[in-house]
Structure 1
């Protein structure tokens, strides 16, 4: 027997018992291993469904273009379906995603546009906004919008949920999964709870995402949003497909725990999986330990493992990347405040006002031997100026020294709390600005990449680093 095309190979992925990383738990823990899908992830399941919904509603005609914002996996699922159905694909993604994911999409014939991560969702540069704009500009194209398109959870009501019920012979008692668009956890939960309303569904959220606090407090807190490294999970928006009523609890996991568990699954279970898989398993173990008194040997827990480790070879499975972000060392958590304190000497924040001239700022930066300054208007940080912006303007017009700084200033440096941990601090510093403003009791202070490197080196010499 054979399939007519690759789409027939989607689904019916195996359940694998987890043994070593869950040692001590009284229940049976199973991993739903989604990298067995042809595109390597759980998102293959929604690729066909999203496209077929668009066809049914007349939103795309033969030879048209599929447009979607993706962290990589949905794009691969859509690209495979598009190949089988004769469509072109354009995907927007963020500069946070691994190069392997971008390479996979291009290998499948898609055009990929990489957009900045650290912008607001409604910013015209965001990958959401760029995808919407392209769909408006390109004839015979459709923006599928996996975040709000009900065909997303429908795919899991029709496939993932029934598979889990059948594979466990109806014995499943808990389903634990990460949440991004909300489609996987919401759709699977709906099916399972229709079979047995007592099944517990637990969502796992990365720190820096809004779901955890929204679930527990009903508050969309923008202060909870900050960059994190774990890809393809969590959100800075509330997608319509995230059905919080279908979830019984949410737990939160930091990047370090996610990355280390990802590696443990590979080394101790033989499951070569991706970052969000490690996050889901770390969150599952955390929740199960917290509720161990309620568990028995009759409980069957399924943890959804969304994708393959091959898309993270340059990150999670690269020792240098892991070390550079503090995910391998055993050193104590380093905060932004400790980085500031580790400087050889205190530093006064040198700033500019929007109406200061470029010439004044050049002199200020030269005197202080600094390469970038925040632009402050009263108590508000309204922008930033860097050497490169000044240089580019002077090359265009040498007389620009008399122009106000507001004409060349860029986005403000991100403002972060003094308590921000190292792994999140480095994710800010990897952005275009290369600097942040740390908010301390004594006011703001600038921290740059060189500050961080010097601080970590000094901590290491003082015995506070890894052994």
Structure 2
């Protein structure tokens, strides 16, 4: 645009990047170093993924892989799709986005608002399953003659941050940054930014990754977690666990595991104490940055990427009822909550034998039957509970010699129970039961107990 002293862009694409640093004035340790967030939610599409989307499309145009008026296809939890939708709208491409069913409803609506075709597919399937996000996206691209963006393995993803995010942080801090913190999803942001900062500082800057504690990046068991757009879920049926080529592990000095509850409550705290409405993956990153800052001297300087806005998660992380339902909130109530009467329960993999069950010294008459997951740590994720073992019936059959120890538990497994959060009222939990005799009690989305429909020990 012509003119003097006028700050204006010729298209929305020119507004991608150049996001400010904002100091955390209230939640950071008072005696520690300054902690600044890199405000990526201020990109036009509301997330850091705008940078990668534009970089990947421009690289594909230069290489000839993407022709004028062509078809872009991508598998994504939503944010990269939104970035691609903006680029596609501006540059005249058709876009199909494949998203897992765990993605927020808001993201799907945003994608559709930009004119993208959205295909929803199950998120909890093995990587080799044709319905898996990456497999389905690849097949759609092949059948339609489209270009698959493939953010997980596309070198233009980390390149966007090596050429943009990293230099911005170095310039904005005047080279004073000592620690860089970011979550790990595709790995592009932390790899590209971290590599640049290490290069320009001659290795002085430390790069810290943050990760859901069940994600495999930080050594977790790979089971489901609730923070979107971050981490690495591994279905137990996946034959080969492939990590993204966009993630350059040699750049990251340490990966800090953060629990779902800490991530979500940190995000909510940022909204209420700093005026920053952010997604839960930002909560993961900031929680790690705050832990780090508590160990550092005041003359250090921490920069943490907050990747997206909380506006895409209002129906999840900012909805108190949603959080109570999964056991993330335990507010005080004027009436008894599930926590007051929840009974302990146990769990077994669906592959267990009757002998395994009889030898298992677990409490209660109902045990959760779960997807087999080698190396699983702690209570099972609600999403991986497939049925309910009738323990008294099984023991009676064994006592009457009607059940052999080598037989599977299959004949004694009934449907999975409904779920209720630890902090829900007994009245709300009872309303969820329907005809079921009980419900699994969830703490942070994991089965930790059982709530009986008619519990004589329950307070009235």
The bucket for the TM-score relative to the shorter chain is 0.7 to 0.9
Local SS of the residue matching 1:283: helix
**Deviation of the 1:459 alpha carbon:** 11
Corresponding residue for residue 303 of structure 1 = 304
Correspondence 1:78 to 2:47:
no
**Deviation of the 1:258 alpha carbon:** 0.7
**Deviation of the 1:265 alpha carbon:** 0.5
**Deviation of the 1:315 alpha carbon:** 0.3
Corresponding residue for residue 378 of structure 2 = 420
Length, aligned pairs only:
381
**Deviation of the 1:312 alpha carbon:** 0.4
- Kindly tell me: are residues 419 and 60 of structure 1, through their superposed partners in 2, closer, same or farther at Cα, counting changes over 3 Å? closer
CA distance in 1, matches of 2:53, 2:390: 42
- Kindly tell me: are residues 26 and 460 of structure 1, through their superposed partners in 2, closer, same or farther at Cα, counting changes over 3 Å? farther
Correspondence 1:240 to 2:245:
yes
Corresponding residue for residue 271 of structure 1 = 276
CA distance in 2, matches of 1:46, 1:312: 21
Corresponding residue for residue 196 of structure 2 = 191
Correspondence 1:127 to 2:130:
no
Corresponding residue for residue 315 of structure 2 = 314
Higher helix share: 1
**Deviation of the 1:326 alpha carbon:** 1.1
Local SS of the residue matching 1:23: coil
Correspondence 1:228 to 2:218:
no
CA distance in 2, matches of 1:20, 1:456: 39
Corresponding residue for residue 151 of structure 1 = 156
Corresponding residue for residue 452 of structure 1 = 439
**Deviation of the 1:339 alpha carbon:** 4.7
1:404-458 per-residue CA deviation (whole Å, 9 max, x = no partner) reads: xxxxxxxx9623689634xx633435xxx5x37899xx99676532543475545
Corresponding residue for residue 368 of structure 1 = none
1:159-198 correspondence to structure 2 within 5 Å: 159-196=164-201, 197-198=203-204
- Candidates 60, 64, 68, aligned match of 1:58: 64
Corresponding residue for residue 267 of structure 2 = 262
Corresponding residue for residue 238 of structure 2 = none
Correspondence 1:43 to 2:56:
no
- Contact 1:414 1:436 (8 Å CA) reproduced: no
- Considering only aligned residues, what root-mean-square deviation do their CA atoms show, in Å? 3.4
**Deviation of the 1:288 alpha carbon:** 3.5
- Contact 2:208 2:254 (8 Å CA) reproduced: yes
Unpaired segments ≥5 residues, structure 1: 214-222, 342-346, 352-373, 381-411
CA distance in 1, matches of 2:457, 2:208: 40
1:310-362 per-residue CA deviation (whole Å, 9 max, x = no partner) reads: 0001000001001111111179999xx96526xxxxx9x9x9xxxxxxxxxxx
Unpaired segments ≥5 residues, structure 2: 1-5, 234-241, 357-368, 392-404, 419-435, 442-448
1:290-314 per-residue CA deviation (whole Å, 9 max, x = no partner) reads: xx1xx21110101110000100010
1:268-305 per-residue CA deviation (whole Å, 9 max, x = no partner) reads: 1100111100111112223333xx1xx21110101110
**Deviation of the 1:19 alpha carbon:** 2.3
Local SS of the residue matching 1:122: coil
Local SS of the residue matching 1:130: helix
Corresponding residue for residue 218 of structure 1 = none
Correspondence 1:281 to 2:297:
no
- Contact 1:27 1:299 (8 Å CA) reproduced: yes
TM-score (norm 1): 0.74
TM-score (norm 2): 0.75
CA distance in 2, matches of 1:21, 1:66: 41
